[in-house]
Structure 1
Amino acid sequence: MPDRINDRPMTRRHEGRTAVITGAAGGIGRAYAVRLAAEGAAVAVLDRADGAAVVKEIHDAGGRAIAVHVDLTDAASVAAAQEEVAEQLGAADILVNNAGIYPNQPFESITFEQWRAVFTLNVDALFHTAKAFVPGMRERGWGRIVNMTSNSVGMVIPGFSHYVSSKMAAIGLTRGLATDLADAGITVNAIAPSLVRTATTEAGPAELFEMVPQLQAIRRVQVPEDLTGMLSFLVSDAAAFVTGQTLFVDGGLIRS
C-alpha cells in the first residue's frame, strides 16, 4: 500500500473513521480501499468475491481492514454485513457504493430479466446499503456516501442502454439522498469515471480502449488510482459543503 502520492506524503485525514466499500475485492474498489486505509481509515471490504488479498495488502502496510462476504442484492445480507462491520470495526462513517455490472449488448437482445439484473445491483443495492448504514451516521451526526456512476450518462456508447439507465438512476438517488440526509450532517455525492482499465473491463470490447481515450482531453486509458484522490476528498471534512453533486473524473471526456 503506497504512503506517497505524486512524491508527496499522504496525510492521515481519515484517522478514526470506518469506511465501507462495496465491490472492493478488486479493480476500482481495491484502489479505494488501499487509499483510504493509507490515510487512516479502518476499511470493510464488502464483496461477493474473496477480499482476503486486499485485506492482507492493507494489513501488511500497517492498516486495518476486514473482508465481509455479502450479496448486495439481498437486503437481509446487507443488514448482516452492517452488523458485522459494526462489531469488528465500529459504526460506518463512510459508505462507498462501488459494486456494479456493465454488460454490453444491443437493446433488441436485452431481456427484462437482464434489464432487472443490472438495476438490481447498480441501483437497488444502493438503496439496501443506505438503509443499512445511514441510521448509524444519522445517530452520530456525520457521514459520507459516494455512489459510483459513469460518464456514459453524458455520452452514450451503443450497447449500454440498461447500464446507462441504471447509472442515471444512481445520480437521481444521489441527489435525493443528499436532500433528505443533509440535516444529519451526511453528504452524498457521485463519481463518474471514464472507461477504467480493470480485469473486468478488459474482458469487454477491446476496441473501447482505443476509442474512448481519443475522446478525452487527457488521452490515455484511465486506471483506478486516477479516482482515489477525488474519493478521498469527498469523504473528508474538507468536502463538508459539497453534496448532491456528480463529479466527472474522466480525463475531460465530458467537458461540462
Structure 2
Amino acid sequence: MTDSAALPGEAGRVVVVTGGATGIGAEIVADFAEAGAEVIVADLAEPATDTAKAVYLRVDITRDDDWRDLVERTVEKHGRIDALVNCAAMYRTLGGKHPLEEIGLDDWDQVMRVNVRGTWQAVKAVVPAMSERGGRIVNISSTTARNGSPGFAHYVASKAAVEGFTRAAARELGRRGITVNAVAPGLVDDEATNVLNDAAYVAAAATRRAIPRQMYPADLVGAVRFLSGDGAGFITGQVLVVDGGGIFT
C-alpha cells in the first residue's frame, strides 16, 4: 500500500487541472499557482487570463492520445503527477435549457462523452503517474445532481454519474494511496451561468441559502485545495457540497 503522506507540500506539488483555461477552472489554477504548485492546464480553450505561473497544453479530454502526451511530458519534466482536478465539462455550451423530451440524442451523447467519459479518461490516464507515491483526484460535480434542476436533464444526469464514478474510483484506488473525492458547487454567478439562466433565476438562488448571497468561483477553491492536499489523506469517496447552505447533505 502506497504511503500518500509522502506527497510534497503545496509549493512543490504537480497539479493537472482540466478545463482550467476559463471560469471555475481558471480560478482553481490561479489558486494553486499562487500557492507555488506546478500547474498544468489541460483545455481546448485558450486561457482567458495570464497563465505565466502555469503550463497550458491543448488537450481534448476525450482523446487518449492527448492524455498520453500530457502525462509523458509532465512526468518527463516533474517525475510525477500529485493531483488531478477534473473541471472540464459541457455547461456553457449547452445552448440553453430544454424539456427532457426535446433534448436530441447527439446532444445527450455529447454531454455524456465530455462530462462523464472525459472524467474517466482523465483519471485512468494519470493513475500510473500517481501509483508509486499516491495522489489526490478531485472531480467537480454540481448540486443539480441532488436538486434535479429542470431544463438540462443530460447535464444533471452527467453530474450524478460523476459522483457515482468518484465512489467507484475511490474504492479501487485507495490501496494505491490515491484519494478520489468530488466537490459539488451550487449555482455560481459567472459568465457560464448567466448564459444559461436569466438574472431573476440567478438572484433567487441566493435567497435559498443559509448564507444568502451569490456564489462565485473563488468560493470553491478552498474546498478543492483542501481535498488536493495533505490534510485530506484519509478522506475518499466523498462529495463535498459548497453552496452556502442551500443544500444540507
How does the TM-score come out when normalised to structure 2? 0.91
Residue deviations 1:194-218, cap 9 Å, x none? 1112222221122321221122111
Q: Does 1:179 align with 2:175?
A: no
Q: State percent identity of aligned pairs.
A: 40
Cα pair distance change 1:85/1:208, threshold 3 Å = farther
| Unpaired runs of at least 5, structure 1 | 1-11, 59-64
- Among 183, 187, 194, the alignment partner of 2:186 is 194
Q: Does 1:237 align with 2:233?
A: no
Paired letter, 1:93: D
In 2: Cα distance, 1:216 partner to 1:118 partner: 28
- Among 47, 55, 60, the alignment partner of 1:71 is 60
Higher relative contact order (CA 8 A, sep 6+): 2
Q: Matched residue of 1:53: which SS?
A: coil
Q: Matched residue of 1:248: which SS?
A: strand
Paired letter, 1:23: G
Residue deviations 1:71-105, cap 9 Å, x none? 11222222222223223444211000001112322
Q: Matched residue of 1:174: which SS?
A: helix
Cα pair distance change 1:160/1:38, threshold 3 Å = same
Q: Does 1:94 align with 2:80?
A: no
In 2: Cα distance, 1:55 partner to 1:163 partner: 29
Paired letter, 1:117: Q
Tell me how large the CA RMSD over aligned residues is: 1.5
In 2: Cα distance, 1:160 partner to 1:78 partner: 29
User: Is the 1:25–1:54 Cα contact (8 Å) retained in structure 2?
Assistant: no
In 1: Cα distance, 2:201 partner to 2:44 partner: 27
In 2: Cα distance, 1:16 partner to 1:55 partner: 18
Tell me the residue number matched to 1:223: 216
Paired letter, 1:151: T
Paired letter, 2:88: A
User: Is the 2:149–2:156 Cα contact (8 Å) retained in structure 1?
Assistant: no
| Unpaired runs of at least 5, structure 2 | 1-7
How does the TM-score come out when normalised to structure 1? 0.88
User: Is the 1:69–1:81 Cα contact (8 Å) retained in structure 2?
Assistant: no
Q: Does 1:29 align with 2:30?
A: no
Cα pair distance change 1:88/1:198, threshold 3 Å = farther
Cα pair distance change 1:13/1:54, threshold 3 Å = farther
User: Is the 1:175–1:188 Cα contact (8 Å) retained in structure 2?
Assistant: yes
CA shift for structure 1 position 52: 7.3
CA shift for structure 1 position 54: 3.7
- Among 102, 106, 128, the alignment partner of 1:113 is 106
In 2: Cα distance, 1:29 partner to 1:145 partner: 14
User: Is the 1:51–1:68 Cα contact (8 Å) retained in structure 2?
Assistant: no
In 2: Cα distance, 1:156 partner to 1:52 partner: 31
